[in-house]
Chains A and B, each alone.
Chain A
């Protein structure tokens, strides 16, 4: 009886992106843009609240120097990264015409929430 062929385990699908923007990544391989599922990975929400004006922001998830996920938001709401690991870094760039608050639902360095006055939003958070 012939041995049944081993079925290849399907690769986990990349996390859904609300909006993708092109950037110049550092070092990319075929697998580097895939958010790999791991036992210690978690879903992380980055909540933006713009008050007394409007705002716009882009959050980028970096892992070991590689861009893993990038999402943009143009009003108050949540950006969700599905596979985040300790040591990952979330970069946030944006603008607000009133005030803005960024809250991340997991411990980070520096701690969140963080408040921003009107102007450019330039921030970054290391996932603990």
Chain B
């Protein structure tokens, strides 16, 4: 059974790779929230679906699927995506559920896992934010483009033979032609109308300086910069995860957890993102000193950290992320032999984006008290629509 599951996972990842390669052939690939989000952010709250193969090198491997109820509902009824309904399902979009299989060192079944997470504060969802919409609309550069569009179209409406101008201007506004690829008459018209209005004078000067000016790319750049800044906002989640025994459908482990992330360099035009990440959890597990199975062993953990995302210059996609965190653990229960009540760890995670939606995080944990090192390799694949994957299968 495990072999079949592993096979499905490999096929799924290969299919995702095929999709990514196909997307590269498009002239202007659309940047999406999923593709631009940092790997750390997608781990905290997933907007659609995520498939994860955690701790590949550790004794407790886990194959995990994460999704949102809204993504499934929207797949079944696409009318839910229309804004008038979309905005009503904010709560459902802030819920993540997860289920998975635990595997031991020889990839044998070691229990089921399930979990649910809810975003108490999610100020990163720009898709339903009127404040974000107004911020873009009132951006000075965006207003210049809007004003230029109005002025040129007013001019075209006054022309005796407007069709050729309209077609050429349409190519310009869609980004299919740069400014220097336009006919001399249209270029002169654009420069003339831009110079007559205070709102577009600066844009007119830009057009004269930069003949390669592409209107669609400029518009996209304005939007993406504002969106990137907006995605530095606060996200705070709470949730619970449980694991069953491999030979009994009873909980062997329950974790109540909360996580907070917030950008530290908001509205800063630096190339890289700096993100504060704080996690805390209370883990209830079986006390193995007792004969019967219970959940009497309680361990509290607190892990504050900082995530640095290195991004590409133009597409603003993070390709490498480094996370440094500290970990404090407190055991509320009876201690085992040679066990400390309080423990401190130093953690480091390196996340590498190997393809558009596939991340490989490598985690290293150091115990300064005993000088022990631990390391794990995970694989995370984010994908937006289950349907696209299902079609390829």
Contact = CB atoms under 8 A, between A and B. Distances in A.
B136 A75 contact: no
Given A56-B137, A89-B153, A119-B220, A97 B129 contact: yes
A26 B154 contact: yes
A75 B85 CA distance: 11
Contacts of A117: 30
Contact of B154 (A55, A67, A109): A67
Most B CB contacts (10 A, CB to CB) among A23, A64, A65 go to A65
Contacts of B128: 53-54, 97
Contacts of B199: 24
A51 B81 contact: yes
A67 B220 CA distance: 27
A87 B83 contact: no
B145 A120 contact: yes
Interface string B120-145: 00000011111011001100001001
12 contacts: A26-B154, A53-B86, A55-B83, A65-B158, A89-B162, A95-B137, A98-B86, A109-B170, A117-B30, A119-B219, A123-B149, A124-B170
B173 A122 contact: yes
B101 to A, nearest CB: 31
B154 A66 contact: yes
A98 B155 CA distance: 31
Contacts of A123: 149, 173
Contacts of A49: 82
Q: Classify the secondary structure of B's interface with A.
A: helix
Contact of B146 (A54, A66, A76, A122): A122
A52 to B, nearest CB: 5
Given A62-B154, A65-B158, A75-B84, 11 more contacts: A52-B86, A53-B86, A54-B133, A64-B157, A64-B158, A75-B83, A89-B153, A93-B146, A122-B149, A122-B173, A124-B166
A117 B224 CA distance: 12
B149 A93 contact: yes
Nearest to B224: A119
A98 B81 contact: yes
Interface string A48-87: 0111111110001011111100000001100000000001
Interface in B276-292: none
A54 B87 contact: yes
Interface of A: 23-24, 26, 49-56, 60, 62-67, 75-76, 87-91, 93-95, 97-98, 109-110, 117-120, 122-124, 126
Interface of B: 30, 32, 81-84, 86-87, 126-130, 132-133, 136-137, 142, 145-146, 149-158, 162-163, 166-167, 169-170, 173, 197, 199, 215, 219-220, 222-224
A63 B155 CA distance: 9
A51 to B, nearest CB: 4
A56 B82 contact: no
A60 B152 CA distance: 12
A126 B155 CA distance: 12
A54 B81 CA distance: 10
Nearest to A99: B81
A53 B127 contact: yes
Contacts of A53: 83, 86, 126-128
Contact of A50 (B83, B130, B154): B83
A128 to B, nearest CB: 8
A53 B170 CA distance: 25
Contacts of B156: 89, 124, 126
A87 B154 CA distance: 11
B149 A91 contact: yes
Contacts of B30: 117-118
A74 to B, nearest CB: 8
Given A50-B82, A50-B83, A56 B133 contact: yes
Contacts of A24: 197, 199
A49 B290 CA distance: 62
Contacts of B197: 24
Contacts of B157: 62-65, 87-89, 126
A93 B87 CA distance: 22
A84 to B, nearest CB: 11
B83 A110 contact: no
